[in-house]
Structure 1
Amino acid sequence: MQKIYLHASLFFLTILSSFGQTTAPDSIAFKSRKLKTQEINFVSSYYTQDGNNSAVTGGIGTEKLTDVATTFDITMAKGDAQNRLHSFRLEVGFDHYSSASSDLIDPSTISSASAADNRIYPSLSWVMQDDAKGYSMGAGISISTEYDYFSKGVNVNFAKLSKDRNREVGLSLSAFLDSWSMIYPIELRTIETPSGPVANPDAGGTNPRNSYNGSISLAQVINKRLQASVMLDLAYQTGQLATPYQRVYFTDNSVIVEKLPDTRVKIPVAIRLNYFATDRILVKSFYRFYSDDWGILAHTAEVELPYKLTPFLSISPFYRFYTQSAADYFAPYKEHTAQQEFYTSDYDLSGFASHLFGLNLRYNSADGILGVSKLNTLELRYDHYNRDTGLVADAIALAVTIK
C-alpha cells in the first residue's frame, strides 16, 4: 500500500536539517585509519489523515489512515592513506499503518493486505570525501518490502567544489526495480461467463514497475548572507503504474480497476535561497515547478524561518503552498466512460491546492543534553496539512542525534 508514503514523507524530509549553513564532515582534521562511529540518528513519527475521496472505492469514501514510522541510522567513518574520509551509513526503517479505505479491497476479510500492514526498508550507503581535491563521490543500495510490494534500489552520486569553495556542482543517478502483487478488489477477481464465473487471469501474480532518476544541482555562495542552489531532475517510470486495487466507476454504474499508461516522464526544476538576515534569523525559501507527460503541472512554494532563541535552542515556523492541475486521465466518481483508454479516480492525480504549516523545535549542544555527553541534538516537529478536496492530516515527529 504505497499511497501513504507520498503524504507522510512530506512531513519529515527536513526533520534533521540544521539551523546554520550545511557543512561537510570535518575530514581535513580526520586522521584516524580506524573505523569509528561518527553519528547515530533515531527518528520516530506519528501520522494521521482523514478525507472522503478514497481511490480504493472509486473516489468516494473514507481516507482515514494512521502511520507510525521509526528509522534508525548509524554513520561510521575512517580515513585512508591519502587523508580522504570514507563514511558508511546503515539505515533501517519500519512503518506500521492501518487504513480504513484499504480494508474495503475485500470487506469480508481483515488481512495484512487491507486493514493494516508493515513496511521494512533498510539501506546502506558509502561516501568518499577528498577535501584536498574538493570532491566527493558515493553509492548506495536499498530494499523496501511489505505485503504486496518489493523494491530494490541503487544510487550513485558525485559532487565537485570550485577552487574558492563557494560553488558546488552535484550529479546523482538512481534506479528502483519494484514488483507489485496484483491484488484486485474482491468483486473483480472473477469474470462472468456463460458457464459461470471463472478466475480473472489479471487478478494474480506480480508485475514490475521500474523507476530511473537523474539529478543535477548547482549550489553557490553569493555573499556572506546569501546562498542559492538550482536543481534539475528527470525521472522515467515504466511498468505497472496503475494501482490494481483502486476501483473506477463508469457513468453506466459498471466498475473496473484503475488503468493508466505504462510509462511516465517527470521533470521538476527547483531553486532554493537561504538568507542569513541576522545572526539569529535565517530565511529559507524554496520554489519548484513540476511537469509530466500525464498532463500534470504543479507549483510548490515554501518558506521556513529558523530563529535562534539561544545559542543552543532554535524555533522554526514553516509554510508550504502547493497546487497542481489534474492528470489527463482523472475524473471523479461515475464520470468516466467505457470508451476512454485510461481512467483513474485517484485524487492524488486530481487538480487541487494544499497548505502545509507547522513548527520545528531544535536543541543542540556539543556538551551533551540531559546529562548525556553524547546526546547532541533533540528535535520535535509538528505539521498540519490540508487540501481543498477535504483531505486533512497531522503529524508529529521526534528526532535524536548522538555523536
Structure 2
Amino acid sequence: MKKHLITGFALLALFQLKAQQQPTDSTSTYKSTKLTLDEINLVSSYYKQDGNHSAVEGGIGTQELTDLSNTLDVKLTKYGSTGKKHSFGLEVGIDHYTSASSDKIDPSTVSSASYGDNRFYPSLSYGWEDEEKGKAITAGVSSSTEFDYQSFGANIGYSKKTKNKNGEFSAKFQTYLDQIKLITPIELRTSGGYGTDNRNTYAFSLGYSQIVNKSFQVMFMADVISQQGYLGLPFHRVYFTDGSVHQEKLPDSRLKIPIGVRASYFLGDNFIIRAYYRYYSDDWKLTAHTFDVEVPVKLSSFVSISPFYRFYSQQGAKYFKAYAQHSDSDEFYTSNYDLSTFDSNFIGAGIRLAPPKGVFGWSHFNMLEIRYGHYSRTDGLSSNIISLNIRYK
C-alpha cells in the first residue's frame, strides 16, 4: 500500500501545467476565452476483502481479494465568444486486482488467467453551459478493458435551473455495451477456446435539486435501468441437491428502478449534515434500502474531518439459493451471495487539508484528502479501503 500511494504522488508530479492566472479581484468579470487548466485530481486507493461465500465455488470458499487503483482526472475550461462556458474532461483509471476465488476456475493450474488482472478505463467528457440562462448540456464516452471483459459507454445529459436559480432539473441517458469472454469452470468445458456473449445496459435518470433556504438543500433522484443479454458470470458454479455442478443461469433481461433523496443541512460555518436515502427494486424480486449520513466538521480554516456511516439492507433475488440447495426443477439458479438477503454496515472517516500556501508548500497542490472505511456484511464478507485524493489547481 505504501508503494501504491507513493506512485500516486509521483504521477501527479509529472504534470507541470500552469493554469492561466485570472485577476484576483473578486469584482472582476473577466472570463478567459483561451483553453485553461481548471484542475487535476488524482485518486489512489487500496482495497482488501475477505469472506467465505465464493460464487466461483458455488457459494463456499474464500472471497479474498485485493485491488490497487489509480485514477487521474483532468478538467479544462474556456469561454466562447458568446460568453458560453465549455468544459472538457479526461479521466484515466488503472486497477490491478488479485482474487483467490478466481484461481478456483481451474484448480489444476498454479494460477488461472483471472487470478490477477488489470483493468484500464479511460473516459472523455464535454460540457456546454449558458450561465446566464442557467442551462447546460453534457456528453461523454468511456471504455473499460480487462482480460475477460470489454465495455464501451456513452452518455448525454441536460440541466435547467429555475428562474430564481434556486432549483435545477436534470436528465441523463447512459448506455453501456459489454462483451464478456465465456470462461467456464474447468469441469464444464467442452472445447479448448473461449466463446463470447454480450450485455447491454440502458439507464435514464431524472433529478431535481432545490435550495430551500441558506441552511437547507435537497435533491430528488429517480432512475430506470434496463439490461439485456448475458447477465450472470460464466465461471460461477452452482451445486444442486444431488451433488451435480452447473454453470450459473440467470434471465437475459433485468429492469431496475431506484429512487432516492439527498439532503444537506448547514449548522453554522463549521458543521454540515449530509444525508441520503435510496429505495431499490427490480424484476428479479430484489429490493434494498440504503441510508447514508456524513458530517463534515471544519476544525480550522483549512482542516476538516468527515465521519460517515452507511447502512444497507437487501432482500435477495428469487433466483438465489445457498450451496447445494438448487434442484433441476429450478429454471434459473445462482449461489452468488451478492444476490442473497443480507444487511451491511460501512463506517469510516476522512480528513481534508487545504492550506492557503498549498499542500507541502506547493501552491498549485491546494487540497489533500485521505479517507478510510470498514465494510461488514451479515453473511461474513468484510473489507477495508483507504484512499488518497490530491488536487492540482
TM-score by length of 2: 0.91
| Matching residue of 1:83 | 83
| Matching residue of 2:288 | 298
Query: Aligned partners of 1:370 and 1:324: how far apart in 2?
Result: 44
Query: Aligned partners of 2:29 and 2:62: how far apart in 1?
Result: 56
What amino acid does structure 2 have at the position aligned with 1:150?
Q
Q: Deviations over 1:122-180 (max 9, x none)?
A: 00000111111111111000000000000000000111111111000000100000000
| Matching residue of 1:118 | 118
Query: Aligned partners of 2:210 and 2:242: how far apart in 1?
Result: 57
- Deviation (angstroms), 1:356: 0.2
| Matching residue of 1:222 | 212
Q: Deviations over 1:188-236 (max 9, x none)?
A: 003xxxxxxxx39xx7311000000010000001111000000001100
1:107 has 2:97 as partner: no
What amino acid does structure 1 have at the position aligned with 2:301?
P
Contact 1:112 1:147 (8 Å CA) reproduced: no
Query: Aligned partners of 1:29 and 1:147: how far apart in 2?
Result: 51
- Deviation (angstroms), 1:94: 0.2
Identity fraction in percent: 51
Aligned length: 367
- Deviation (angstroms), 1:336: 0.2
1:277 has 2:267 as partner: yes
| Matching residue of 1:137 | 137
Query: Aligned partners of 1:268 and 1:389: how far apart in 2?
Result: 24
Query: Aligned partners of 2:58 and 2:306: how far apart in 1?
Result: 39
Query: Aligned partners of 2:308 and 2:29: how far apart in 1?
Result: 35
- Deviation (angstroms), 1:367: 3.6
Q: What SS is found at the alignment partner of 2:284?
A: coil
Query: Aligned partners of 1:307 and 1:396: how far apart in 2?
Result: 20
Q: What SS is found at the alignment partner of 2:232?
A: coil
1:389 has 2:379 as partner: yes
Q: 1:367 to 1:85 in 2, by over 3 A?
A: farther
Contact 1:209 1:241 (8 Å CA) reproduced: yes
Superposed, 1:201-220 pairs within 5 Å as 204-220=194-210
Q: 1:384 to 1:270 in 2, by over 3 A?
A: same
Query: Aligned partners of 1:332 and 1:155: how far apart in 2?
Result: 37
Q: CA RMSD in A?
A: 1.4
| Matching residue of 1:345 | 335
- Deviation (angstroms), 1:29: 4.2
- Deviation (angstroms), 1:297: 0.8
Q: What SS is found at the alignment partner of 1:328?
A: coil
| Matching residue of 2:31 | 31
Query: Aligned partners of 2:119 and 2:319: how far apart in 1?
Result: 29
- Deviation (angstroms), 1:370: 1.2
Q: 1:29 to 1:59 in 2, by over 3 A?
A: farther
| Matching residue of 2:189 | 189
Contact 2:103 2:112 (8 Å CA) reproduced: no
Q: 1:235 to 1:30 in 2, by over 3 A?
A: farther
Q: What SS is found at the alignment partner of 2:57?
A: coil
| Matching residue of 1:253 | 243
Q: 1:129 to 1:314 in 2, by over 3 A?
A: same
What amino acid does structure 2 have at the position aligned with 1:81?
S
What amino acid does structure 2 have at the position aligned with 1:296?
L
TM-score by length of 1: 0.89
Query: Aligned partners of 1:119 and 1:173: how far apart in 2?
Result: 25
1:65 has 2:65 as partner: yes
Q: Deviations over 1:354-401 (max 9, x none)?
A: 000000111124542211010111000000000000001000000000
Query: Aligned partners of 2:83 and 2:377: how far apart in 1?
Result: 51
Query: Aligned partners of 1:138 and 1:112: how far apart in 2?
Result: 41
- Deviation (angstroms), 1:108: 1.8
Query: Aligned partners of 2:180 and 2:118: how far apart in 1?
Result: 15
Query: Aligned partners of 2:388 and 2:96: how far apart in 1?
Result: 17
Contact 1:125 1:140 (8 Å CA) reproduced: yes
Q: What SS is found at the alignment partner of 1:83?
A: coil
| Matching residue of 1:17 | none
Q: What SS is found at the alignment partner of 2:104?
A: helix
Query: Aligned partners of 2:52 and 2:109: how far apart in 1?
Result: 22
What amino acid does structure 2 have at the position aligned with 1:164?
N
- Deviation (angstroms), 1:91: 0.5
Q: What SS is found at the alignment partner of 1:370?
A: helix
TM superposition outliers: structure 1 runs of 4+ over 6 Å: none
Q: 1:39 to 1:89 in 2, by over 3 A?
A: same
What amino acid does structure 1 have at the position aligned with 2:195?
G
Query: Aligned partners of 1:385 and 1:57: how far apart in 2?
Result: 23
- Deviation (angstroms), 1:112: 6.2
Structure 1's unaligned 5+ residue stretches are 1-25, 191-198
Query: Aligned partners of 2:59 and 2:217: how far apart in 1?
Result: 43
Contact 2:149 2:179 (8 Å CA) reproduced: yes
Q: Which moved more, 1:246-255 or 1:129-138?
A: 129-138
Q: 1:206 to 1:378 in 2, by over 3 A?
A: same
Q: What SS is found at the alignment partner of 1:56?
A: helix
What amino acid does structure 1 have at the position aligned with 2:229?
G
Q: What SS is found at the alignment partner of 2:242?
A: coil
Query: Aligned partners of 2:328 and 2:98: how far apart in 1?
Result: 33
Q: Which moved more, 1:366-375 or 1:214-223?
A: 366-375
- Deviation (angstroms), 1:30: 5.5
Q: Deviations over 1:15-44 (max 9, x none)?
A: xxxxxxxxxxx9x94522211111001010
Q: What SS is found at the alignment partner of 1:187?
A: helix
1:237 has 2:227 as partner: yes
| Matching residue of 1:15 | none
Query: Aligned partners of 2:30 and 2:323: how far apart in 1?
Result: 60
- Deviation (angstroms), 1:325: 0.4
